[in-house]
Amino acid sequence: MVRLRSVLYGGAALAVILLLWEGYKLVGSPQGWSVNEVRLLPRADDSSMPHVWTVAERFTQPEISAEGSSSVLVAVLRAAWFSFRISLAGWLGGVLVGVALAVLMQRFRTARDALLPYVVISQTVPLVAIAPVVVGWGGQLAVLGQPWQPWMSVAVISGYLAFFPVAVGMLRGLDSPGPAQIALMQAYAASWWQTLVRLRLPASVGHLVPALRLAAAASVIGTIVAEISTGTRGGIGRLIIEYAQAATGDPARPWTAIAGAAALGLVVAALVSALDLALARFNPAGA
C-alpha cells in the first residue's frame, strides 16, 4: 500500500515538473529575463527549451542518418545501462573501502587521528584534477594480468566519491553504542571482534542506510562526470556531451540524454530504497 502510494506520488511529481516546463514556455519570454545583462530567467524559445513532446518524439527517431542506426531511445538506454554498471562497481568499491576505513578508525585511535582529516580533505579535491591522474595511473596498471580498461578509471573515480559518506556514517554508527552496552560486552569478556559483530555492526545500520543512499547518488554523479572528463565511450555522460554538440541544429537531442541521466538516478535511488527494506530487520527502530 505504502509502495503504491509512493509510486503514485513519484508519477505526480514528474507530471508537475513537465507541466511547469510547458507552463514556463507558455508565459515566459522567448528572450528570457535579464537585469543588467545578468540572466535571471532562461529563454523560453523552442531552441533553448524544446517542447516535452518534441523531446519525446526525438526518442523515437534514429540517432544518426546512417544505415542501421538505432533509435535515440535505444542509444540512451544502452548508455544508461553502461553507466549503471560502472556506478554499481564504483558504489560497491566505495562501500567496501568506506566500511573498512570506518572499522579501522573505530578500532585504532591512531588510525582515526591520522586518517579522518584526509578522508574529509579527499572530497575537496576537484574531480577534474583527479580524472587525468586516475587515467594516467590506470594506463600503467594491469589487474590480475588483464590490461586496465577505460571503464575502470571511471569506476575508481565513482568509488572515490562514494566511499566518503560511508566512511563517515559508518564510523558514527560504530561509535553509537552507549557505555552501558559496551560495559555489558566487557562483562561477557567479549573480544573486539565479537563486540563488533554482535553490537557495533547492528547498531551502525541506522547510520549506514542514509550513508548508502548518499553514496549511491555520489557514485552516479561521479560516473557521469568522470565519463565526460575522461571521454570514456559508451556511457550516458559522454552521450550528453556528444548530443550537446548537436544542440544548435537539433535542440531536443541533448534533452533526451539528460532525461536518461535523470532516469538512471531515479532507478538507483529506487534500488537503494529496496536495500533499505532488506536491512530494516537489523534496525527495528527505523532510524
Nearer to other proteins, 209 or 240 (CB): 240
Q: What are phi and psi of 71, to 5 degrees?
A: -75, 160
> Does 239 contact other proteins by CB under 8 A?
yes
Kindly state the smallest distance separating residue 277's Cβ from other proteins, in Å.
Answer: 31
> Does 231 contact other proteins by CB under 8 A?
yes
168 HSE (CA, 13 A, CB side):
16
Nearer to other proteins, 142 or 180 (CB): 142
Task: Pick one of 10, 23, 117, 147: the residue that binds other proteins (CB under 8 A).
Answer: 147
> Does 221 contact other proteins by CB under 8 A?
no
> Does 56 contact other proteins by CB under 8 A?
no
Tell how strand 38-41 and strand 33-35 pair up.
Answer: antiparallel
Q: What are phi and psi of 189, to 5 degrees?
A: 60, 35
Nearer to other proteins, 110 or 140 (CB): 140
> Does 276 contact other proteins by CB under 8 A?
no
| Locus of grid cell 562483562 | 187
CA distance 170 to 112: 13
Q: Cα–chain-centroid distance for residue 87? A: 7
Nearer to other proteins, 28 or 210 (CB): 28
Contacts 24+ apart (CB under 8 A), 223-227: 223/83, 223/86, 223/87, 223/90, 223/154, 223/155, 223/157, 223/158, 224/83, 224/261, 225/127, 225/157, 226/127, 226/131, 226/153, 226/154, 226/157, 226/158, 227/83, 227/86, 227/154
Nearer to other proteins, 85 or 107 (CB): 107
Is the separation of the CB atoms in 76 and 236 below 8 Å? yes
C-alpha triplet 252, 254, 258: angle, nearest 5°: 115
Task: Pick one of 111, 201, 247, 269: the residue that binds other proteins (CB under 8 A).
Answer: 247
In this chain, which stretch among 14-22, 61-69, 111-119, 276-284 interacts with other proteins, using CB under 8 A? Answer: 61-69
Residue positions counted in the chain: 287
> Does 284 contact other proteins by CB under 8 A?
no
Kindly state the smallest distance separating residue 168's Cβ from other proteins, in Å.
Answer: 21
- At 143, which amino acid appears? V
> Does 66 contact other proteins by CB under 8 A?
yes
In this chain, which stretch among 159-167, 188-196, 215-223, 275-283 interacts with other proteins, using CB under 8 A? Answer: 188-196
Q: What grid cell was written down for 101?
A: 576505513
> Does 74 contact other proteins by CB under 8 A?
no
> Does 233 contact other proteins by CB under 8 A?
yes
Q: What grid cell was written down for 243?
A: 548530443
Task: Pick one of 4, 109, 124, 145: the residue that binds other proteins (CB under 8 A).
Answer: 145
> Does 223 contact other proteins by CB under 8 A?
no
The closest of 220, 255, 262, 261 to 10, measured between CA atoms, is 262
Task: Pick one of 245, 270, 277, 287: the residue that binds other proteins (CB under 8 A).
Answer: 245
Nearer to other proteins, 11 or 147 (CB): 147
- The binding site for other proteins (CB under 8 A) comprises 31, 43, 45, 47-48, 63-66, 128, 131-132, 135-136, 139-145, 147, 191-193, 228-233, 238-239, 241-251, 253
